[in-house]
Amino acid sequence: MAQELETLGAKVVAVSVDPVAALAAFRTRQGYTFAFLSDEERRLSTYYGVLEGTSCRRADLLLDPDGVVRHVALDISLSQHGKDMVEALRKARR
């Protein structure tokens, strides 16, 4: 899914409240090539309203080049993860 989003001009970044070392290990195990950002201080998660207790809700956010949120999908399943972003990005580009 990340490759399809990048083909459409998106920059894919995964954000998690997990420590850097845990994210690096996860990224390597899964073979992901896109960037991962550790938000241990939970600033970004709080800013975008996805912090739930001490962890993040699973969410996809589509931001335009100015950082304005154009689409949000919350609590999505792993099988659906990113699919709605492809459609939202296609619509935004029309």
- Domain 2-93 sits in CATH at 3.40.30.10
Q: Which residue has the higher pLDDT, 79 or 13?
A: 13
What single letter denotes the amino acid at residue 82? G
Task: For residue 10, count CB atoms less than 10 angstroms from its CB and return exposed for 0-12, middle for 13-18, buried for 19 or more.
Answer: buried
Q: For 37-67, what is each residue's pLDDT tens digit? A: 999 999 999 999 999 999 999 888 888 888 8
Least Cα distance to 1 among 38, 32, 36 occurs for 32
CA torsion sign for 58, 59, 60, 65 is: negative
What percent of the chain clears pLDDT 70, i.e. is strictly above it? 100
The residue ranges of every structural domain in the chain are: 2-93
Q: Tell me which residue has tokens 């899914």.
A: 1
2 falls in which pLDDT band (50, 70, 90)?
A: confident
Please, what is the average pLDDT of the chain?
88
